[in-house]
Amino acid sequence: MKKWSGYHRLSLIETKMPVLRQIISDTLSAKYFSSQEIHACVAVLNKFIE
């Protein structure tokens, strides 16, 4: 039932969110939200590449 409903995938995402927030929290210094959003995406991708 868990695989059918996607619950397991959702649980993994919810577990990773605090980690991702910690990674990007110190790096968001842009003034505008759109710039912060791009900067956050790049920071997360860089962590996955490492």
Distance between CA atoms of residues 33 and 8, nearest Å: 31
Given a cut of 60, whether residue 1 has pLDDT beyond it is no
Instruction: Note the pLDDT tens digit of each residue in 5-40.
Output: 667 777 777 777 777 777 666 656 666 777 777 777
- Give the pLDDT band (50/70/90) at residue 3: low
Q: How many domains does the chain have?
A: 1
The first and second tokens of residue 42, run together, are 């790049």
Instruction: Give the domain range for residue 36.
Output: 2-49
Place of tokens 């995938």: 9
To the question of pTM greater than 0.95 for the whole model, the response is: no
